[in-house]
Amino acid sequence: MNIGQAAEASGVSAKMIRYYEEIALIKPPARSQSGYRVYGAEDVHTLHFVRRARSLGFSIEETGALLALWRDRSRASADVKAMALKHVAELEEKAAALKAMAKTLRHLASHCHGDARPDCPILDEIGA
Amino acid sequence: MNIGQAAEASGVSAKMIRYYEEIALIKPPARSQSGYRVYGAEDVHTLHFVRRARSLGFSIEETGALLALWRDRSRASADVKAMALKHVAELEEKAAALKAMAKTLRHLASHCHGDARPDCPILDEIGA
DNA sequence: CTTGACCTTCCCATGATGGGAAGGTGTAGC
DNA sequence: GCTACACCTTCCCATCATGGGAAGGTCAAG
């Protein structure tokens, strides 16, 4: 399977597959005689794992750690759970920060007439 | 006032002040004979506005638009309110995405023993 | 006059992704 | 067998916002 098919099958773009290889997140695949990257089902599975981890908000570095745990048959599930819960906490922190911003801004907006007049508590407050 | 004092007074780092000038978000300040940037109270006020806008999650481009509205005495408050509410919607969307990730991951973690045994539904699910 | 704190510009790095150019390869249709 | 086209390769550049640091100039205090 060439990189295009692997991308299609895993949901990871060809560009990203090459990048993940470059930064050593994934192993360099075999090459055909002409230099094309050749992937197998196992590789696609790994790529799919990476895609899922990324979609759960794990950084590439964290994804690498998860991959290592995934491949290590003797890992302790406690290690995985700890990583997951730490990440949950970070996600919730970021979400809370965004919601705080939204709340502040919504509050400011609620005091703004929103008509043709120029006076605007939103700008007043940001500038204060 | 030199850039260091302006940074101190506005809460924007000297590095960022130079960058904002480079990308034309703010006007180039006067220069002393020796080439030092010289800022006044007005400039600090502007920098402070920028800092506040950024802390509310506006991009630099959006901050530029807000600055323009801020300086335009004849703006319609409706324009400001529209920008603010659009941004609120984006913030809430991002927050919701993060919360969805957290929820998924928390759910997975709740099914993980979290002990010395290797079997772990978190990894199973990410790899599935 | 030296020292140290400040300033200047310039280049590089981050994290994750995409765009695109220049050139080689593989295959399908004629 | 040739042509066209889809695909592959590597390499460089851009994004967004920020920080780090080097090399060199300036200013004020001691």
pLDDT of residue B76: 96
- Would you state the pLDDT for residue B116? 95
Residues of chain A neighbouring B73 (CB-CB closer than 8 A): 118
CA–CA dist B30, A20 (Å, integer): 47
3-state secondary structure of A127: helix
Handedness of CA A100, A106, A111, A117 (dihedral sign): positive
Backbone angles phi, psi at A7, to 5 degrees: -65, -50
- Cα dihedral B91, B92, B97, B98 sign: positive
With a cut of 90, say whether residue A112 has pLDDT above it. Answer: yes
For chain B, percent of residues with pLDDT exceeding 90: 99
B-facing residues of A in 102-121 (CB < 8 A) are 102, 104-106, 108-109, 112-120
Q: What's the pLDDT score for residue A100?
A: 96
Could you read off the pLDDT of B96-117 as tens digits, one per residue? 999 999 999 999 999 999 999 9
Interface contact B71, partner A, CB < 8 A: no
Strand partners, A30: A38
Min Cα distance A30 → chain B (Å) is 22
Length of chain B: 128
**What is the pLDDT at residue B95?**
97
**Both structure tokens of A112:** 């703004």
Mean pLDDT, chain A, rounded, equals 97
d(CA B102, CA B18) in angstroms, rounded, equals: 38
Confidence at B41, pLDDT banded by 50, 70, 90: very high
Protein B26 CA to nucleic acid C1 C1', in Å?
Answer: 40
> Which pTM does this prediction carry?
0.92
pLDDT over 90 at A128, yes or no: no
Averaged pLDDT for residues B43-54: 98
Distance of C1' in C27 from CA in A25, Å: 33
pLDDT, averaged across chain B: 96
A59: which nucleotide lies closest, measuring CA to C1'?
C15
Mean local confidence (pLDDT), B63-70 = 97
Average pLDDT over residues A103-126: 96
Chain A: residue whose CA lies nearest to B78: A114
Is the model's pLDDT at A70 over the cut of 90?
yes
Which of A 30-59 lie inside 8 A of B, CB atoms? 45, 48-49, 52-53, 55-57
Residue B128 has pLDDT above 90, yes or no: no
Between A and B, how many residue pairs show a Cβ–Cβ distance under 8 A? 163
